[in-house]
Amino acid sequence: RFRSEGGPVVRVELPGQVPVWAVVAYESVDEVLSNDGILFSKNPRNYTALNDGTIPADWPLRQVVDGDHLLTKDGADHRRLRGLVNRAFTPARVQALAPRIQEMTDELLDRMAEQGDRVDLVRLFSEPLPVAVICELFGIPHDERKQIRDWSLILLSHETTPDEAVKTGGDLLAYLAAFIERKRGAPGDDLTTALIRAQEDDGDSLSDSEMVGILWLVLIAGHETTVHLIANAVVALCSDPAQLAMARAENAWDRAVEETLRGRNSVINVMFRYPMREVRVSGVTIKEGEPIMVGISAAGTDPARFGEHAERFDLSRDQEPHLGFGRGPHFCLGAPLARLEARIALSSLFSRFPDLRLDVGADDIAYVSSIITEGPVSLPVLL
Ligand code: HEM
């Protein structure tokens, strides 16, 4: 809507909110992300309204934009931290998780089958799987996983009050700090141990609080995004029997994942960039320090890039590169894991339940309302 009514770059002024710029055309989104750390900063130090008192201290999004982690660092600071994380979070580590992801997927599908013919796919499948995978990745003991899941559900729920979020966030951070200490004494074949080794190899330049920040960010960034990606793909496939038939016949689950990331993404906007000086984006002038929200899913459905039927979920379209995992220095750290997990989830779900269908009209599905993510609150299906 912004794109057709306002152009590629729109000023959004909602009552009671600080105005933001929304960048909503593929070319403009690409232009902004490609200049991360050059023209645009992600460091809240460069956000005028956060520093001059315009935004109150209890602003709910403050926790997201004001934390000390990969997503709030630029340039050399970001490269240093990302380089250390990349050494631990390797493609080989992700690939090695595949058999466990398959097992956990099958266990959830078994349990779902025991619940009768009509189930909520979000509650029983797309929501528990990603947090189980992340716990496995971190090496969190089985009897502590329920606690992690409960905390992340509170943090992700849109009914959580700012006070509850602060309390739960504090509990989770304290748990992660203690967990890292325990791992030092009892290393394993997991991401936490690999991070500890990267820290030691690097002469301890990776501080303990940065380590906690990395685990915290991976848990938060890797959970809800994947929950919604799986559910959005199921909705898209079940709403169009021809597409589902094609996915089955051609074993095109990878393509289904990419098409979801392009046109039905779980991440609709990525959070703010702050111009480091006055800039022009697609001809629009934005002043230094004014927040820019980057419309990832608007870019994915831009007809100028993806053609007249850009809104259509179509597995036969030419797979042009999309921006669903971002671009540039902040490109999603977890993309290989998300792709692997979503492919296993979709192929296993549809082969286990060949007659699976939605038990709700596509237009009647209630969606999580957030400016960052989008996906069904619940998804009644008939197995
Ligand atoms: C960054 C999307 C899953 C960890 C990002 C960004 C996007 C994104 C668009 C860029 C943010 C920006 O530029 O401001 C997604 C989507 C997922 C997904 C659509 C769908 C399933 C995951 C998973 C993990 C993860 C599974 C971890 C296991 C991260 C981290 C960053 C990030 C740590 C920050 C990278 C940095 O700043 O260097 N993600 N993500 N994401 N993602 Fe993902």
ipTM of the complex: 0.98
Question: For position 125, what pLDDT does the model report?
Answer: 97
Structure tokens at 223: 């959970």
The pLDDT of residue 157 is 76
The residue whose CA is least distant from atom 26 of ligand 1 is: 222
CATH assignment of the domain containing 292: 1.10.630.10
Q: Which of 27-41, 162-176, 333-347 has the lowest mean pLDDT?
A: 162-176
DSSP label at 279?
Answer: E
331 is written with which tokens? 């490109």
The answer on pLDDT for 270 being more than 90 is no
The amino acid at 226: T
Q: How much is the mean pLDDT over the chain?
A: 91
Burial class (CB in 10 A: 0-12, 13-18, 19+), 199: buried
Ligand 1: which of 89, 268, 332, 339 to mutate, most ligand atoms within 8 Å of CB? 332
Alpha carbons 150 and 375: distance in angstroms, whole number: 19
Block residue for tokens 């540039």: 328
At 129, which amino acid appears?
L
On whether the CB atoms of residues 138 and 187 are closer than 8 A, the answer is no
The C-alpha atoms of residue 305 and residue 299 are separated, in whole angstroms, by 8
Q: Give the pLDDT mean for 347-371.
A: 92
Asked if the model's pLDDT at residue 377 lies above 90, the reply is: yes
**Average pLDDT estimate for 208-229:** 91
| pLDDT at residue 60 in the model | 63
Residues with a CB atom less than 6 Å from ligand 1: 70-71, 82, 217-218, 221-222, 225-226, 229, 261, 265-267, 270-271, 296, 324-326, 330, 332-334, 337-338
| Cα gap 373→155, rounded to integer Å | 14
Cα torsion at 294, 297, 303, 308 (round to 10°)? -170
**Number of domains, the chain:** 1
* Domain span at 101: 2-382
Q: 61 pLDDT exceeds 70?
A: no
Residue 263 has pLDDT above 80, yes or no: yes
Tell me which of 220, 225, 232 to substitute to probe ligand 1's pocket, judged by most ligand atoms within 8 Å of the beta carbon: 225
